[in-house]
Structure 1
Amino acid sequence: MAPPYHADQIGSLMRPQALLTARAHLQDSSHIYDTISEATIHEAEQNAIDWAVQKQLDLGIRPICSGEYGRHIFYGGFFETLEGMTLHPELPIPDAFRTDFPTTTKIASMGINTRPGIVCTGPVRWKGSAYMAEWKMLRRSLPEEKWKECKITMPAPSFEHIQLKSGTAVTKESGYANDEAFFADLAKAYAAEIKALYAEGLRNIQIDDPNMTYFCSQQFLDGCKKDGTDTDALLDLYLEAQNNLLREVRELEGLQTGVHLCRGNFGSRHFVSGSYDKIAQKLFNDTLYDTFYLEFDDRERQGSFEPLQHLPRGKSVVLGLVSTKTVAMERKEELKKLMMDAAEIVAVGQGVSKEEALGSLALSPQCGFSSSSLGHGEGMTMEKMWEKLCLVSSTAKEVWQDA
C-alpha cells in the first residue's frame, strides 16, 4: 500500500516571532502542557496558522499541518483535558521517573531537577475535543475539498506512562486494578477525540511516539532491569494500547493512521541510539497502523535499513532522511540512493520487485522542526526549514512521478 504522500512532513514547524512573543510569559514548566485560555494568544495562533497554511500551499508542501502552533510542545493539549488525569508541574528528577530514563538523565545533566508530568488519579473519561480548535484553525482558510490534504498529530497513549516510575503513572486512587484496564479506558478517550475530528472532516492522524525507540536503547533497557521491569512485557503493553485505540476507529472510512518514531529533537540533541531491529518485527506486524514514520537521518545512531525486511505487504514506511537538527542541506542524489537501498531491503523481505517495494516508501524530515516552541536545530532558520521541506518534495517528485 502506498503511503498517504510520497513526500511527507512530521508536523511541527518553527514558530513565527509574533507567536513566540504572545506566548513569552508562558515558557515556565507549568505551561508546557496547554491549560491556558487567553484570547490574545489564540489570535496569535490563528494568524500564525493562517500564514503557515498559505506558505505550504504556495510551496506545494503536503500534507498541510498547523505547525503545532496551538501548543507549546508536541505532546501538549490532550492528556491534561481528560477527566481522571492530574497535572503535576514539578515532579522530582530522578525520584519520580524510571531509573536511567534517557530523557530525564539528559535533562538532569543540564542542571534541571524537576519535570512536569500527568498521572492517572481517577477513571479516565473524554470530556470534549482537545484538538478541535487547532483543527478548525488549520482548515479555516482552506476550501473543504482540501481538508483531506491536512494532518493533525497526537501524543502516544504511553507517553506519560513510559517515563514515570513503575506503579506511579496510575495511582491506587484511580480505581484501576492494572495498567491494562487504564489503557482500555484511555483508548476509548482517544477514539472519542479522533471520531470528533473525523466528523469535522479530518482524515489523517499521526501518533507521535518518540519514546518507543527507547526500547532500542541499552541505557533504557538496563534501567528497566534495575527496576525489575520486564521490557518485553512493557513493549507488548504499549503496542496493545495503540491497537486498542486503532480498533475503536477502524470503521471510519478513509481515515489514515500513522505512528512517528524518533530519537528526540531537543534542539540539536538526541536522547537515544540503537537499531530498530529490537522492535521492528513487533512494530510492523503486531500493530494496526497503516504507516510508520521512522527517523533515519544518521545511520550510525539508528542503524541500517535491515529492519525494514520485516515490513509486511499492505503497510508503508516514511523514511526520515532529511535532518531537522542541522542546517546542512542533504544532497538530492544521496537521498535518492538511500531510498533505493531501503526499497531493496523491503523487496527482499516481501519477495516483490524493488519497484513495487519502492511504492510503499516515502521521504520526510526525521522529525518536526520545532517539537517545542523554543526547541529547534542549532542555526535553523525559517528559510532553511522551508528549503528542506521543498527538498523533500522535489526529491520525491523525481522518485515517484505522482508525488
Structure 2
Amino acid sequence: MDAAPFRFDHVGSLLRPARLQEARARAMEGKCSADELRAVEDDCIREVVRRQEEVGLDAVTDGEYRRTFFHTDFLQRLGGVTIEEGEFKAAFRKDDGTTVGFKPPTMHITGKITHDEPIQGRDFDFLKAATTRTPKVTIPSPSMLHFRGGRKAIDEAVYPSLDDFYADLSAAYADEIADLAARGCRYLQMDDTNLAYLCDDSIRESTRARGDDPDELTHTYCRLFNEAIKSRPADMKVCVHLCRGNFKSAWVAQGGYEPVAEILFNEMNIDGFFLEYDDQRSGDFAPLRFVPKGKRVVLGLMTTKHPELESKADLERRIEEAAKYVPLDQLCVSPQCGFSSTAHGNDLTESDQWRKLALLKEVAEEVWG
C-alpha cells in the first residue's frame, strides 16, 4: 500500500528514553536551557526515527518526544486557550481493578480562538529532514477543546454562541493545516478521546446530564473536523484516532463503537480511522459494517498497555473476523494507541515496544503480502 494509512502503521507516541526524561526534568528545574533541551530532543528523535525505519514502518513520527501531554502542548498555543493545572481528578482505571491518581491539565476558553503562529511547523521540518519515509504529524482533535469542559469551560462573554466558537476553532485548525501542507506534510492524524468516550453508556448519560445530546455532539464534531480540513491539498491524507484513555497503562472509557459508528464513518470526510480493538472494552467488529467504500480502518489489535506479546495467530484471526464487516483491502493494523500518550509512558519497556511493532510488521506481511 503506497498511501496512508499504511497496512502496518502506528498511532504515533513512543516511550521516552531515559536521557530525554532526565533532560526534561533538568529543564523544569531551571538547570537546562530550552536550546539545550531541544538539542537532546533532536538527538533522541533522530534515533527513534532510525528505529522506526528499521522495524519497517512506512509512516514515521517524532514519537511526540517534544510533548508532555498529547493534547495540551498543542492546544495551549492557540490564542484564547488557558490551561489550568489539575482541577479535576480523572478516573483512570487498570485492568486489574486498581486506579491511577491523575489530575490532567484542563482547558478553558477565555478569549477568541486564533492561530497566531505555526505550532507544529518547526517540529515537522526537523522530522521531514530526518527520515526517508513518510513523516506523519499527530495533533489533538479540535473537539478536545469542547468535550472535556463543555459549555461551562467556554466564556459566554467571549462566545455567547457556540456556533461562533466552532467557526473560530475550525478556522484556527485550517490555518495550522495549511502551514503544514505548505511545508510538505501529507499525512496528518488527529487524536480524539471524545468520540470513543461517547461509546461509554455512563459517559453518554453524564453528557446528557450537563445538557448535551451525545448523538448531536457526534454530528457536531464531524462537522468541526470537516471544516478544519476542507482546504487541505488533495494528496494530504487525514486520519482520526479514537482513544478510550491511555495514561500509565490505565484507561477511562469502555463500550463498543455502535453508538457513534454510523454517524462517524459516514459523516467525517477523512481517509482513515485508527480504532482501539485490543480488548473486550472496545466491543466487537459489527459497527464496521457502516464503513463506506474508500475509507480505511486501522485495527488497533495490539495493546500498548501490557508487555506481553500477542499471538500472531490470534492477531490474524481477528483481522479475518473484521473482514466479515469491511473488505480486507480497506483494513490495516496498528497498536491500539500510542505507547506514551503522555511523557510518563505505559508500563512496558522500549524493548517490549519494538518487539510488538516487529510482530505487527510480520502479521501485515502475512495477511496482505
Tell me the TM-score normalised to structure 1 length: 0.85
Q: Which amino acid in the other structure matches residue 355 of structure 2?
A: E
Give the alignment partner of residue 335 of structure 1, picking from 308, 315, 320: 315
**1:116 Cα offset (Å):** 2.1
TM-aligned CA distance change 1:12 to 1:365, over 3 Å: same
Q: How does 1:340-351 map to 2 (within 5 A)?
A: 340-346=320-326
Q: How does 1:142-153 map to 2 (within 5 A)?
A: 142=131, 146=132, 149-153=134-138
Q: Does 1:193 find its partner at 2:163?
A: no
Q: Which residue of 2 aligns with 1:321?
A: 301
**1:9 Cα offset (Å):** 0.4
Checking the alignment, whether the CA contact within 8 Å between 1:49 and 1:137 is kept in structure 2 is: no
TM-aligned CA distance change 1:170 to 1:53, over 3 Å: same
Q: Does 1:214 find its partner at 2:184?
A: no
The share of aligned pairs that are identical, in percent, is: 35
Give the whole-Å Cα distance in 2 for the aligned partners of 1:262 and 1:295.
7
TM-aligned CA distance change 1:26 to 1:214, over 3 Å: farther
Give the whole-Å Cα distance in 2 for the aligned partners of 1:294 and 1:126.
29
Give the whole-Å Cα distance in 1 for the aligned partners of 2:101 and 2:241.
29
Runs of 4+ in 1 over 4 A off after TM superposition: 25-28, 109-112
Superposed CA deviations along residues 70-119 of structure 1, whole A, max 9, x for unmatched, are 1111113322111222222343x27xxxxxxxxx2449x6555x542222
Give the whole-Å Cα distance in 2 for the aligned partners of 1:116 and 1:370.
17
Superposed CA deviations along residues 151-184 of structure 1, whole A, max 9, x for unmatched, are 11010111132111x422220232x232221111
Checking the alignment, whether the CA contact within 8 Å between 2:301 and 2:315 is kept in structure 1 is: yes
Checking the alignment, whether the CA contact within 8 Å between 2:141 and 2:190 is kept in structure 1 is: yes
Name the SS for the 2:239 alignment partner: strand
Report the RMSD for the aligned CA atoms in angstroms.
2.1
Q: How does 1:74-113 map to 2 (within 5 A)?
A: 74-91=70-87, 93=88, 104-106=90-92, 110=100
Q: Which residue of 1 aligns with 2:221?
A: 238
Q: Which residue of 2 aligns with 1:122?
A: 111
Checking the alignment, whether the CA contact within 8 Å between 2:247 and 2:344 is kept in structure 1 is: no
Superposed CA deviations along residues 38-91 of structure 1, whole A, max 9, x for unmatched, are 111111111110011111222222211110001111113322111222222343
Q: Which residue of 2 aligns with 1:396?
A: 364
Q: Does 1:4 find its partner at 2:2?
A: no
Checking the alignment, whether the CA contact within 8 Å between 1:10 and 1:365 is kept in structure 2 is: yes
**1:311 Cα offset (Å):** 0.5
Give the alignment partner of residue 163 of structure 2, picking from 157, 171, 180: 180
Gaps of at least 5 residues in structure 1 are: 29-35, 95-103, 347-356
Checking the alignment, whether the CA contact within 8 Å between 1:3 and 1:318 is kept in structure 2 is: no
Gaps of at least 5 residues in structure 2 are: 94-98
Q: Does 1:372 find its partner at 2:361?
A: no
Q: Which residue of 1 aligns with 2:147?
A: 162
TM-aligned CA distance change 1:63 to 1:3, over 3 Å: closer
Q: Which residue of 2 aligns with 1:32?
A: none
Q: Which amino acid in the other structure matches residue 296 of structure 2?
A: S
